Each structure stands twice: as structure tokens, then as C-alpha cells.
């Protein structure tokens, strides 16, 4: 099917607005500090909007409703237990403000990985940054591909055409306006995709005979609205314990040591405003997940009472919401919701591009750059890096079109492998004992190896990977440091003195 002219004009208007904002804010970019950090003058509520929009992608927009719509092959889902993860993210944000924010506002940082060089050495800074740019470019390239699916369904374009169109627009406004354009377009995009979600929920509600009473009557005795699952099954993904504890550590890693999130905090006026944005964002994320889960419950009732799903769609719940948008949304509303899907994708992709450019610009080279080494002409290089990473993500998206879903899922899980060990490095930096750089390096590689091995066994839920990787990295680093101290000349002298003077024992 093709978009109605009204829907097409709404989508075109949205894209024009975003490009116009990129051009407007691009005129105000003076130097690299402005391009990457918005001169650290962004109000807390805009940082809040950017945080929420950045962590909400098209995958979230389509997959969270699918979670409530029906259980997966493992019997997980078909209810609201996803909210246990949202509870964990609230706890994790509190830990971020307590453990990490003070260090971020001590001096001027461009990337969070500069702290690793200050505490350990340049190798660990570049190793952590390399893991970030690698996993982020692959994962967000796949998110770009997922967005293209919706556009293909709406317009009958080919996958590469849809990917190129979305990617080009995102690259252009990010290239022009830098972080200031990213943050302020994030605020607009957050409002748009929340409005699109609410419109979709309202249309669903109106289409279901009997309204809410019908939804409740089909909930299998309330099972479809279950929120808490207190089972201690380590291989289940959405128990209360996996969501709260695993989700807290996952958020501590993604929001405390991942450049894409930390860069937003560095744009705030001060530490207090950054902390306010981080904490309130957890509450907004919780409300947002409730909206998407409600859409999933409404979809389940709609396709039982109104019309059956095509068999090809029913086999893949991730496609159910997109199918509803294509076939059921009224003219005008359809254009709004398609724009909302684009907004969810572009907010993540634009943040990714600017953060990738920041990390590659400042963390690599003969000498990693500091703020004093950034010259006015560096702005051109920063923009070219934005173009480069945008091209990489388009290439990943186009290359992944023909891959089976199993390969796609494995690629998206890359971030789970690296988040924990990198978090472990930062926790080693906070350890009172003087952990050495070689010990931290041993911890990093041990953590990566352990998470990779455990992930192949399948006995542990992915929500525990971050905690496992962080704990392994931290424990290995501490043990290596302790072992080095036990072999040191200072320790041997201490033991000799005790043996020579028993009265001191």
C-alpha cells in the first residue's frame, strides 16, 4: 500500500522540521566544544527529554507492545512483567548519580573514557572506547534496518531505499547542528512518538467492542496484567529479581559508562541539573513502558474480537503493531504514527552518530585529544566523522537485510557482552585499594571471556550479563593487585621485620 497524500504531507512536514532545526542550530556552532557539548548550557528538562528519547528506539516502539501481546517461545511475556526491568532502571539511575556524576563534573570531559586514562592508562581508555564505537555502530545500524521495515510496509519501497532515506536525513541534521541539534530535536521527537503511541492506543480502544471491559475479560483471570514474577529462575529474563537487580546494573553500565548517555549529562549546566535529569528520566521511562505495554494488551484483544491476524504476522509478534498501523490507522493518524516511528529511530541514531564522532575524535590518534588541544579547524574533522559513522550504520543496515533473525539478535546482544566489563573498569577506579593498570587490563579481558562463555551455555538470562561481567572484571582486578602486592619487596620486608621481632606480633 502507499501513503495517502495527507499522511505523506505529515511525514514530509516532520522531516522538513527536523532538517530545519539542524540548519538553525548549525548556524550557532562555533567550535568543537560547542559541536560535542553544546557549550554545557542545556537546561535540565531538555537533557531529560534527550535521555528518554535516546534510549527509546524503533525496536522499543514495536517490541514492547509485542511483549504484552503474546508470550515468546520460552513462555516469557504475554503480560506486563517487562516493568520489572523498568523498576531496575530507576534504581540504576540512582546509583549513577551517586557513584559517577561527581567525577563527570570534576574538570571538563569530552568522553567518559577519559576518566580511565586519568586513573589507569591510555590503553584502557582506547580499549573501552573501541568497544563502544564497534558495538554501537552495529546495534544502531540494525535499529535503522528495523525502522526501514515500517517505511517499506507503508510505501512499498525497497529496503535499501528506505534505509538510505532515513539514514541520510538523520546524518544531515546531525552533521549540521551537532549535539545542540540532537538534543532539541530529541525533545521534539519525544513528544511526537509519545503522541503517536497515545493516538494508536486511543484508536485501538475505540475499535474494540465493549472497550476496557472486553480487554479485562480476555485477560485470563488477570494473568495478562501480571507485573511481578518472584521466581528464582536464572535463565528467565523478566523475573522481578532479574529485572530489578540485573536491570539496575545494566542501567548503571548504559547510563553511567556509555558515551552516548554520559555525553548528555556533560551538556547540562551543572551536576545538580544533570542529576535531576537522570532521576526524573527513570520515572518517565516507566510511564512510557506502561503506555507501550497497554498498546500490546489492546492489540491482543483487538485481534481476538475484531479480526484474525494473518498467519505470517501472528508468527512474529514484533510485526503485529506495525501491521496494525499499516492496515487499521485512519488517514492522517497514520502519517502521525509513521512520523512517530521515525522520531523514535532518529532520536537514537542521531545521538549515536554524535557520540561516535566524539569518541573517535577525542579518544584515538597519536595523542588522545584534550580540550586544550582542540582548534577551531577541528570542527571540520568532527563533522566528517559524523558523516563517516552515518555511512557505516547505513552499510550495516543494508548488509543485515537478508540475515536471519537469529544473527540479528546475536548482533544486538553485543552490547550486553561489553557493558559489564567496562562497568567493572570504572568500579575498579573507585576501589579504595590502588588497583594497577595491568590488573585492570587483566580484569577487562577476563570479564569479556567469562560473559562470552556463559552466553553460549544459555543457562543464564541476558539480564545478568552486565552484573556477571562487572563482578568478574572487578574481582579479577582486585585479586591481581593483591597478588602483586603480596609479591612486592615492601610486603616481603614487612614479613621479615615481623619474623625478626616476635614481640611485634
- Helices and strands (H and E) in the chain: how many: 23, 0
What the block records as the C-alpha cell of 197 is 503511541
Contact 25, 176 (CB under 8 A): yes
Distance of alpha carbon 44 from alpha carbon 336, whole angstroms? 28
In this prediction, residue 278 carries a pLDDT of 95
Distance of alpha carbon 41 from alpha carbon 210, whole angstroms? 50
Closest listed residue to residue 77, CA positions, set 208, 223, 214: 223
In this prediction, residue 502 carries a pLDDT of 53
Domain spans in the chain, listed from the N-terminal domain onward: 5-401, 413-505
Contact 239, 230 (CB under 8 A): yes
Distance of alpha carbon 495 from alpha carbon 505, whole angstroms? 10
DSSP output for 258-316: -HHHHHHHHTBSSHHHHHHHHHHHHHHHHHHHHHHHHHHHHHHHHHHHT-PPPHHHHT-
Closest listed residue to residue 349, CA positions, set 493, 203, 496, 170: 170
* In this structure, CATH architecture of domain 5-401: Up-down Bundle (1.20)
What is the helix (H) or strand (E) element at residue 411, kind and residue range? helix 405-412
- Residue 71's beta-bridge partner residues? 77
In this prediction, residue 275 carries a pLDDT of 96
Distance of alpha carbon 416 from alpha carbon 207, whole angstroms? 39
Distance of alpha carbon 117 from alpha carbon 127, whole angstroms? 11
User: 3-state class of 78 per DSSP?
Assistant: coil
Beta-carbon contacts of residue 203 (< 8 Å; ≥ 6 apart): 328, 329, 330, 333
Length reported for the chain: 505
Extract the residue ranges of the chain whose pLDDT is less than 70.
1-3, 59, 72-76, 155, 220-222, 235, 365-377, 402-414, 484-505
Distance of alpha carbon 262 from alpha carbon 105, whole angstroms? 11
Amino acid at each position: 500500500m502507499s501513503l495517502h497524500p495527507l499522511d505523506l504531507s505529515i511525514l514530509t512536514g516532520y522531516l522538513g522540521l527536523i532538517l530545519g532545526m539542524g540548519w538553525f542550530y548549525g548556524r550557532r556552532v562555533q567550535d568543537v566544544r560547542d559541536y560535542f557539548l553544546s557549550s554545557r548550557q542545556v537546561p535540565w528538562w531538555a537533557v531529560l527529554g534527550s535521555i528518554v528519547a535516546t534510549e527509546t528506539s524503533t525496536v522499543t516502539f514495536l517490541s514492547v507492545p509485542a511483549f504484552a501481546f503474546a508470550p515468546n517461545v520460552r513462555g516469557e511475556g504475554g503480560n506486563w512483567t517487562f516493568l520489572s526491568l523498568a523498576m531496575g532502571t530507576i534504581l540504576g539511575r540512582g546509583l549513577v548519580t551517586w557513584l559517577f556524576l561527581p567525577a563527570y563534573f570534576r574538570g571538563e570531559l569530552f568522553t567518559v573514557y577519559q576518566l580511565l586514562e586519568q586513573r589507569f592508562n591510555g590503553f584502557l581508555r582506547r580499549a573501552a572506547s573501541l568497544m563502544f564505537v564497534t558495538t554501537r555502530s552495529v546495534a544502531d545500524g540494525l535499529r535503522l534496518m528495523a525502522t526501514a521495515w515500517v517505511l517499506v510496509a507503508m510505501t512499498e519501497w525497497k529496503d535499501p531505499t528506505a534505509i538510505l532515506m532515513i539514514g541520510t536525513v538523520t546524518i544531515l541534521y546531525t552533521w549540521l547542528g551537532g549535539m545542540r541539534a540532537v538534543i532539541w530535536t530529541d525533545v521534539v521527537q519525544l513528544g511526537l512518538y509519545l503522541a503517536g503511541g497515545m493516538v494508536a492506543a486511543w484508536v485501538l480502544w475505540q475499535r474494540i467492542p465493549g472497550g476496557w471491559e472486553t480487554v479485562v475479560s480476555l485477560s485470563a483471570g488477570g494473568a495478562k496484567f501480571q507485573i511481578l514474577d518472584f521466581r528464582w529462575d536464572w535463565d528467565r529474563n523478566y523475573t522481578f529479581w532479574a529485572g530489578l537487580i540485573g536491570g539496575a546494573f545494566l542501567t548503571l553500565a548504559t547510563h553511567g559508562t556509555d558515551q552516548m548517555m554520559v555525553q548528555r549529562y556533560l551538556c547540562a549546566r551543572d551536576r545538580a541539573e544533570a542529576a535531576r535529569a537522570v532521576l526524573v528520566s527513570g520515572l518517565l521511562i516507566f510511564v512510557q513502558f506502561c503506555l507501550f505495554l497497554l498498546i500490546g494488551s489492546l492489540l491482543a484483544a483487538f485481534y481476538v474480537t475484531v479480526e484474525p491476524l494473518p498467519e505470517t504476522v501472528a508468527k512474529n509478534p514484533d510485526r503485529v503493531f506495525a501491521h496494525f498501523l499499516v492496515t487499521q490507522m485512519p488517514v492522517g493518524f497514520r502519517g502521525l504514527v509513521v512520523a512517530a516511528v521515525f522520531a523514535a529511530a532518529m532520536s537514537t541514531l542521531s545521538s549515536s552518530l554524535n557520540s561516535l564522532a566524539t569518541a573517535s575524535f577525542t579518544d584515538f590518534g597519536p595523542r588522545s585529544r584534550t580540550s586544550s588541544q582542540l582548534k577551531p579547524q577541528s570542527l571540520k574533522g568532527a563533522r566528517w566523522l559524523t558523516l563517516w559513522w552515518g555511512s557505516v550504520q547505513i552499510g550495516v543496515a543494508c548488509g543485515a537485510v537478508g540475515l536471519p533473525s537469529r544473527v540479528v539478535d546475536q548482533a544486538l546482544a553485543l552490547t550486553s557482552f561489553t557493558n559489564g566489563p567496562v562497568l567493572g573498569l570504572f568500579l575498579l577506579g573507585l576501589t579504595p585499594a590502588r588497583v594497577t593498570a595491568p590488573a585492570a587490563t587483566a580484569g577487562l579481558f577476563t570479564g569479556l571471556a567469562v560473559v562470552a562463555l556463559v552466553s553460549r551455555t544459555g543457562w543464564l538470562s541476558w539480564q545478568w550479563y552486565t552484573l556477571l561481567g562487572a563482578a568478574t572484571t572487578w574481582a579479577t582486578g582486585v585479586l591481581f593487585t593483591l597478588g602483586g602486592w603480596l609479591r612486592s619487596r615492601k610486603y616481603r620486608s614487612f614479613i621479615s621485620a615481623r619474623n625478626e621481632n616476635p614481640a611485634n606480633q
